[in-house]
Structure 1
Amino acid sequence: MAPPSIVVDERATESTDAIIQKEVKRKWTSYIWDTFDKSPEERRLLFKLDTAILTFASLGYFIKNLDQININNAFVSGMKEDLGLYQNQLNYMQTAWTVGYVVGEIPSNIMLTRIPPRYWIPAAEVIWSVLTFALSRANSAEQVYVLRFFIGLAESTFYPGMQYIIGSWYRKDELAKRSCIFHTSSGIGSMFSGYLMASVYHLGGKGGFKGWQWLFIVDGIISLPVAIAGFFVLPDVPEISNPWYLSEKEISLAQKRMELEGRGTRQPFTKSKFKKIFSSWHIYFLTLLYVTFNNGGGGGQPLFAQWLKASKDPVYTVAQINAYPTTTYAVQVFTTLVYAWTSDTIFKGRRWPPILFGACSNLLCYISLAIWNIPTGWHWFCYIYMGSGYGLSGLCMAWAHEICSEDNEERALVIGMMNDIAYVFQSWLPLIVWRQVDAPNYHKGFISSSVLKQQQQQQQQPVEPQDTDDSATKN
């Protein structure tokens, strides 16, 4: 049962109107960060929210991607040989994680509209951290499959759940930046996993563990404290939130901000509610958009690392094989932030131009790799620059929050559905087009990514709800 809404003093509510509605001339500094044009009270609230939500969200997504991507780094760093993984076992390990992720996402996001998120999400983080420790003791592919399934199930709560929470606290001019800052931590986590594997590989033999086993142990050591901290810093949604770092007046201000934004509060899930959601174009358009984005990449494969490992002239070391591909994620982090700032400022809230640019960038890379017989330097460029298409998730999610702003349950379900159906495709598509035995020349994969990116381009311009009046969200 959901906790009762917080009751605030009416005088405090009246004062929030003046704080939020106060008009100021936009300064150039607001293009750097959006709070510079807001009142001191609203700026203080946003500072507290950013410190709590963005810090926890970014650290949580960092450890999620660290724990998700480590299987690839372990695979190319001795796990393949030690466990005899010479067929398509890596594909099956990735699929086991994806199936768990798909099973858990939509039920988890529905639960977030019923119970306090500050308990649900950190508890799941603790579970996946413990299971990551357990991977270090796996001695067969079958054991890895089982552990990866439950890790995926636990991790399914985090990304769509935190996107739902971010969309519950921030207004349109604040949303894309924070959603994208949150998403950049995935690239940082993927980068760090490569550096971490390059470092802990030398621990091989210590304590009776191989280098790749130490990767899972260190991952767990990093993850567990972040998970526990979530119980203390993660707020719920504004209408039921009462965190220790927000005053009653600040909670009232947060609620008023969402009211002025037209962001709906929690309502019961009813038969008519489900009918309304599934009879709207929102859920279908946004899900299709996210499917093409999420599956228009490398299918979770260590493309760059496997190309380096297959190289005969020159031959790269284990440290180099793990370190060089991190440049792809550095490009992801940089371009994600560029997309967020340009979307909010230069494009005045339009989300589709950066999405279109990222899709075109990846199209160039995957078409080139599909040709394959290209100069070595161009191979390097494609593997590195394909990161420019990895950072579009935050913009897609921000767009979904804006389109579904009036209905809290629709927003939660659409966010969960977008991510879930994308991973439904990711659970089987890599087994066909990203087969381990085809590495490093994944011709089918490069072709399919090119087609999906082209489809993503075609979906951008037909719908521009944020450019119209409020009726756009009532369709």
Structure 2
Amino acid sequence: MAVHDKSAEAELKGVAADTLVSSPVPSKSSDNQDEDYAIQAKPQRKWQSYVWDTLDKSPQERKFLFKLDAAVLTFGSLGYFIKYLDQININNAFVSGMKEDLGLYQNQLNYMQTCWTVGYVIGEIPSNMILTRVRPSIWIPTMELIWTVLTMCLSRCNSASSFYALRFVIGLAESTFYPGMVYVIGSWYRRDELAKRSCIFHTSSAIGSMISGYLMAGVYHLGGKGGLKGWQWLFIVDGIISLPVAISGFFLLPDVPEITRAWYFSPTEREYAKKRMEFEGRANRAPYTKAKFKKIFTSWKIYALTALYITFNNAGSGITQPTFAQYLKASTDPKYTISQINTYPTTTYAVQIVSTLIYAWTSDSVFRGARWPPIVVGGLICIVCYSSLAVWNIPVGWQWTCYILAGCGGGMSGLCMAWAHEICSDDNEERAVVTGTMNEMAYVFQAWLPLVVWQQIDAPRYYKGFVTSACLNAGMIISALVVRVLWKRAQAKTRKQAELA
């Protein structure tokens, strides 16, 4: 692929360029029915692109991206939706009769969550390494089928120990999905496209958490049908919803550009996908070597980005724990129904969905591709919310507001991962290992931190948990600023080397 001036070469390495570059990808169709595709970097974006980034691109590129979005975002979003549906259902079941039916009055809920997390942690990095060797269209849907079946099996558990065992294996299977799809998404999209897609993908986790509450409120009335309690029906219904999504992955996932065999792309479009990533400076797959591992683990990237993601992921644990639901359940004046306990906390996830999309669009437009400003803003909002909840004796209206606005802290995962893809774009294996390590280490902390600061016996006040979340949000802001400084230094070094070449 020919690149026609140095400023374009600089852009491939993350350095701004003010030139127009066009690189044709010749049609390989024998009847010449496929148009020539051009990869373009435009000096100024039209206003339409701030609404959606394909609106100022060529018809051919719009057609290509429409197909890609329809497949990857549809499967990715539905898959992440069912992952959270199957992950968060334990909380809804717990406050909807499971606690009383099985006599879970100590910290058993914490242990169930920890067993899931341990399985998740063990599986993440090996799974992402496997994805650089095995087709994602085989690996990811297969794991989805496994966790779907096991989720339905939870309905037959009658003791805490059986929940522990199944939750561990479900976590192991689910560990493949999020880091795997982050890797796939980062393999197809350019920098001006990546944040929006990553954040749209991430909003489906909040939608899954919301729907789990509504499902529990609905299936609770099935209690007694088939000899099952209402909370047991939740696991069965979740599995029924998940099954067709898992199967669709075998047909929708396009793998990665260099090995794609997606039926919905023409040969020209497959070649075009490869050229787009070459233009972006996104490296192809390469062998794992001793030198490569040394490069990855002696770089600041894996450590700084992992610190950012650890603080982000664990700062939001006040959302993933059923804090709002347990506050409502403990209330006696007024006393809330099971339906209200499951549905009112979904407002937090609604805020997460809206704020996630705001972060994506402002990052791409208002902040001109910078990822750190929305992270800082979201962190500041959450510091106020969690600090207020730690005080506890505050007006009821403000208490509800803090529980709901805490959702502003749950939508930054897409930005963090998009940032990591951009920073590690020149090495495919580093990108896979770094994004996998970010998620892996975040869940390593999540495996033990709730046992210390979110103990079930402290519900609903959770003083230690709210203080910890406020502090972690402060740590997230600091980490984001550190990554910004280190990335700017790396870009300056790359620019200087390009000028000397």
Please indicate the TM-score interval, normalised by the length of the shorter structure. Answer: over 0.9
Tell me the C-alpha RMSD between the 2 structures: 2.0
Q: Which residue of 1 aligns with 2:409?
A: 389
User: Distance between the aligned counterparts of 1:76 and 1:401, measured in 2?
Assistant: 39
TM-score, scaled to structure 2 = 0.90
| Whole-angstrom distance in 2 between the partners of 1:193 and 1:18 | 43
CA offset digits 1:265-289 (Å, max 9, x no partner): 0000011110000010000000000
Whether contact under 8 Å (1:131, 1:147) holds in the other structure is yes
Do the aligned partners of 1:108 and 1:157 also contact (CA within 8 Å) in 2?
yes
Distance 2:92 2:46 in 1: 46
Counterpart AA for 1:459: S
Matches within 5 A, 1:354-393: 354-393=374-413
Over residues 101-128 of structure 1, what are the superposed CA-to-partner deviations in whole Å (9 max), with x where a residue is unaligned?
A: 0000000000000111100000000000
Which of residues 240, 262, 283 is equivalent to 2:259? 240
- State how 1:16-27 maps to structure 2 within 5 Å: 19-21=38-40, 23=42, 26-27=45-46
Check if 1:311 corresponds to 2:331: yes
Check 1:22–1:345 CA distance in 2 against 1; reply closer, same or farther (3 A cut): closer
The answer on whether the counterparts of 1:22 and 1:39 sit within 8 Å (CA) in structure 2 is no
Paired position in structure 2 for 1:198: 217
Measure how far apart 1:261 and its partner are: 0.3
Question: Could you say if the C-alpha distance between residues 67 and 37 of structure 1 is closer, same or farther in structure 2, counting changes exceeding 3 Å?
Answer: same
CA contact (8 A) 1:171 1:257 kept: yes
CA 326–456 in structure 1, closer or farther in 2 if over 3 Å, else same: same
Give 2:124's match in structure 1, choosing from 95, 99, 105: 105
Letter aligned with residue 115 of structure 2 = A
User: Counterpart in 1 of 2:246?
Assistant: 227
1:21 counterpart SS class? strand
2:25–2:271 CA contact under 8 A, matched in 1: no
CA 209–281 in structure 1, closer or farther in 2 if over 3 Å, else same: same
Match of 2:246, as an amino acid?
Answer: A
Structure 2: how far apart are the matches of 1:56 and 1:140?
Answer: 34
Distance in 2 (CA, whole Å) between partners of 1:16 and 1:400 is 34
- Confirm or deny: 8 A CA contact 1:350 1:466 kept in the other structure: no
**Structure 1 residues 10 and 403, CA gap change in structure 2 (3 angstroms):** closer
Q: 2:27 aligns with which of 1, 4, 12?
A: 12
Q: Determine if contact 1:404/1:473 at 8 Å carries over to the other structure.
A: no
1:157-188 CA-to-partner distances (Å, cap 9, x unmatched) read: 00010000000000000000000000000000
The 1:92–1:474 alpha-carbon spacing in structure 2 relative to 1, beyond 3 Å, is: farther
Query: How much does 1:375 deviate?
Result: 0.8
Q: How many residues align?
A: 467
C-alpha displacement at 1:25, in angstroms? 5.5
SS of equivalent residue, structure 1 residue 421 = helix
SS in 1 for 2:39: helix
Percentage of identical aligned residues: 68
Q: Of the candidates 123, 136, 143, which is equivalent to residue 155 of structure 2?
A: 136
Residue type at the aligned position of 2:64: L
Matches within 5 A, 1:24-423: 26-298=45-317, 300-423=320-443
Does the 8 Å CA contact 1:403/1:472 hold for their aligned counterparts? no
Deviation at 1:456, TM superposition (A): 1.0
Normalising by structure 1, what TM-score?
0.95
Using the TM superposition, name which of 173-182 and 444-453 deviates more: 444-453
Query: What SS class does the counterpart of residue 267 from structure 1 fall into?
Result: coil
Q: Kindly tell me: are residues 288 and 369 of structure 1, through their superposed partners in 2, closer, same or farther at Cα, counting changes over 3 Å?
A: same
Q: Distance in 1 between matches of 2:44 and 2:316?
A: 42
**C-alpha deviation, 1:457, in angstroms:** 1.3
Q: What's the CA shift string for 1:391-432, capped at 9, x where partnerless? A: 000000000000000000000000000000000000000000
Could you tell me how far 1:466 is from its partner in structure 2?
Answer: 6.8
Q: How far does residue 23 in structure 1 lie from its aligned partner after superposition? A: 4.4
CA contact (8 A) 1:402 1:466 kept: no
Tell me, yes or no, if the aligned pair for 1:403 and 1:473 is still in contact at 8 Å. Answer: no
Task: Provide the residue aligned with 1:458 in structure 2.
Answer: 478
Cα-to-partner distance string for 1:297-337 (whole Å, 9 max, x where unaligned): 23531000000000010000000000000000000000000
Instruction: Rate the CA distance shift 1:257–1:338 in 2: closer, same or farther, 3 A.
Output: same
Q: Is the 8 A contact 2:206 2:352 kept in 1?
A: yes
Q: In structure 2, do the counterparts of structure 1 residues 473 and 104 end up closer, same or farther at CA, with 3 Å as the change threshold?
A: farther
Which ranges in structure 2 are unaligned for 5 or more consecutive residues?
1-23
Q: Which runs of no fewer than 5 residues in structure 1 stay unpaired?
A: 1-8
